[in-house]
Structure 1
């Protein structure tokens, strides 16, 4: 099959979406499929990928608040490319202008809207949570749900990247046809990469002895990640046991976070680690991953941590909760620093040998990105076959 992804969130300097698409492109090429991405760029350009697939950059204005990304507006350059490429399946994930451009395109392809995120949870509920309950906020922003419903009617299928997002959107009355949980590149992460000397060195940087407990916080420094809750929780738990936290990432909130932890004796912040092998060693050498965001649609970082043999301490709603293995995890009430602190203490008061054994068992069951791609292609093939039969 030939799949075209009209993706406003793809950028050479992007994050999770770029990683997902680049890896998906290589996997599909190995499976005999072709993935072509249409993405906004500063100039019109085509980037061929050596293993198969390509990126068509269409000149578009930049995003006002993030120079890494662009915004589509004109339909003609996109629909002209779709006409010329003539895909079997066309995907879209942006709820703004691209949703309508692809939805209204009159080609023969199966049109799939792929949900990667939840703007309601990531923005509206966070912005106004001190003013009203999440239920009231959802009522106030029901216009956005109705807006989404109007363009989703133009698609042959609506797919989410996991059960957390599926449940959340269906509860709002939106049509969801199938959940296709994402996966990770398994070969990069393993409990076998654990390095006790590295662990001891990281604990020393947190001013803790080798018998201390080392937590990992990994991800963008953005308000939706709720790092202040994580920091508060670690400081509270530190009154009961020797626990340190290393935060790896960067973002708009980095200066505020650095100021917040300036007086914390056992919390340290590091720049992102782009070397996958080094990152895998760091992950496997920590004692648990802690996460603060209940708005995560899938929980990719949590899956990578599990594949590294780490127990999880995560909110009780959202994508991280969905992938957490109960025997190697502790859930806490979302947005509650004291509940998170109690979860840290509960986890580290478990029998360490049993916890380690449970975490290693959980690592073996983490879903791979190749499994995700195979399931998605099988689903699309069924839709393509049905559409061709109907046309015949």
Structure 2
């Protein structure tokens, strides 16, 4: 099956979508499919990754607010690319204008929209959540919900990686929404990486001894991740318990977070760890993962933490909440710093349970399920032919 992914968020600069797509190129080829990614690029080009997998770049302008990314601006050029590739199955990876463009393409291939973004949680709920309920915000953003319902009519399947997001989509009238959870990179994250010396060294960076509780947070330093709230909660919890926090990430918000953490020697705003094995060792050596973002569509870092047998402290909304199922896991009220503070205090004072990891769901499991769903969509057309 030739699967064409129209991926507006794919960029050579990295990010979660790039990690996902790169794995899909490999998994799809291994499963006998031909994977073609159409992405906005600096110029028109074709990049062959390996036999049966390639990226078709379409010349596109950069996004004004983040020039690492580009956006599809020429619908005719996009339709022309689809005509030339002749997909058996189409994916769109963004709920914005590119999804509408794909929906208007006149070809007969079944199409699926993969919700790699949850704009309402990332923006509207975050901006206005202190002023109005989610139901009121949804009513105020009726135009966006109408857009999603139009996409629902134009697509055969709407794929969400989070049951939380699927439930909200269905409640909003997106009838074709279904959950296909993602997973972790196979064979990497494991509690076997736990290293007492590494843990002690990280606590020393926080100015603390080995009897303290070590929290890690992993992700971009951007506003929707709410790292400022996490830092403030750890500051406050630290008046009652001995707690260190190590943040691992990058982004334009780093300078502000360093300034925000300056009031405590027990908070380290670190850089991203590019080596995946080193990241796996670091996560397995902590006492819990703390996460501030309620807008995750899956929350890969929480899945990686579960695979490492690392307890979770996560908001009660969004993709991260789906992973908090263990005895030591804790959920706090999303976007509520006081609730997070109290949850951290309670976690640090708990009696430690034996950490038993689940068999982790992998990205290959995800793609097996996704490709099977696509085969089911194509079956009526194949039978009719």
C-alpha separation in 2, matches of 1:275 and 1:25: 21
Which of 371, 382, 387 is matched with 2:376 structurally?
382
User: Which deviates more, 76-85 or 54-63?
Assistant: 76-85
Q: Which residue of structure 2 aligns with residue 35 of structure 1?
A: 35
Please tell me whether the aligned partners of residues 186 and 364 of structure 2 are also in contact (alpha carbons under 8 angstroms).
no
Structure 1 counterpart SS, 2:284: helix
Matched, 1:370 2:364: yes
Structure 1 counterpart SS, 2:256: helix
- Measured against aligned partners, the alpha-carbon deviations of 1:273-305 in whole angstroms (never above 9, x if no partner) come to 111111111111111000011111212110011
C-alpha separation in 1, matches of 2:175 and 2:142: 15
Q: Which residue of structure 2 aligns with residue 16 of structure 1?
A: 16
- Measured against aligned partners, the alpha-carbon deviations of 1:78-124 in whole angstroms (never above 9, x if no partner) come to 22221222111100022333112211112231111111221111111
C-alpha separation in 2, matches of 1:338 and 1:96: 34
User: Which deviates more, 25-34 or 146-155?
Assistant: 146-155
Q: Which residue of structure 2 aligns with residue 182 of structure 1?
A: 182
C-alpha separation in 2, matches of 1:292 and 1:100: 31
Please tell me whether the aligned partners of residues 261 and 268 of structure 1 are also in contact (alpha carbons under 8 angstroms).
yes
TM (norm. structure 2) is: 0.96
C-alpha separation in 1, matches of 2:247 and 2:42: 33
> Displacement of 1:271 after TM fit?
0.9
Structure 1 counterpart SS, 2:259: helix
C-alpha separation in 2, matches of 1:183 and 1:201: 30
C-alpha separation in 2, matches of 1:289 and 1:312: 5
User: Which deviates more, 124-133 or 276-285?
Assistant: 124-133
Please tell me whether the aligned partners of residues 162 and 298 of structure 1 are also in contact (alpha carbons under 8 angstroms).
yes
**1:179-218 map, 5 Å:** 179-218=179-218
Structure 1: give runs of 5+ residues left out of the alignment.
none
- Measured against aligned partners, the alpha-carbon deviations of 1:19-53 in whole angstroms (never above 9, x if no partner) come to 00101111111111121100000111111113641
C-alpha separation in 2, matches of 1:319 and 1:304: 13
Structure 2: give runs of 5+ residues left out of the alignment.
none
Q: Which residue of structure 2 aligns with residue 86 of structure 1?
A: 86
Deviating above 4 A after TM superposition, structure 1's stretches of 4 or more consecutive aligned residues are none
Q: Which residue of structure 2 aligns with residue 239 of structure 1?
A: 239
Please tell me whether the aligned partners of residues 95 and 117 of structure 2 are also in contact (alpha carbons under 8 angstroms).
no
TM (norm. structure 1) is: 0.95
C-alpha separation in 2, matches of 1:269 and 1:178: 37
Please tell me whether the aligned partners of residues 330 and 343 of structure 1 are also in contact (alpha carbons under 8 angstroms).
yes
Matched, 1:324 2:324: yes
**1:331-370 map, 5 Å:** 331-352=331-352, 354=353, 357=354, 359=355, 361=356, 363-370=357-364
Matched, 1:110 2:148: no
Aligned length: 385
Q: Which residue of structure 2 aligns with residue 226 of structure 1?
A: 226
> Displacement of 1:162 after TM fit?
2.2
C-alpha separation in 2, matches of 1:328 and 1:59: 49
> Displacement of 1:340 after TM fit?
1.1
**1:144-183 map, 5 Å:** 144-183=144-183
- Measured against aligned partners, the alpha-carbon deviations of 1:121-153 in whole angstroms (never above 9, x if no partner) come to 111111222332322211111111012212331
Please tell me whether the aligned partners of residues 112 and 158 of structure 1 are also in contact (alpha carbons under 8 angstroms).
yes
C-alpha separation in 2, matches of 1:52 and 1:220: 32
Inter-CA distance 2–270: structure 2 relative to 1 (3 Å threshold): same
C-alpha separation in 1, matches of 2:50 and 2:249: 30
C-alpha separation in 2, matches of 1:51 and 1:215: 43
- Measured against aligned partners, the alpha-carbon deviations of 1:172-206 in whole angstroms (never above 9, x if no partner) come to 22223421111111312100111111111110000
**1:253-292 map, 5 Å:** 253-292=253-292
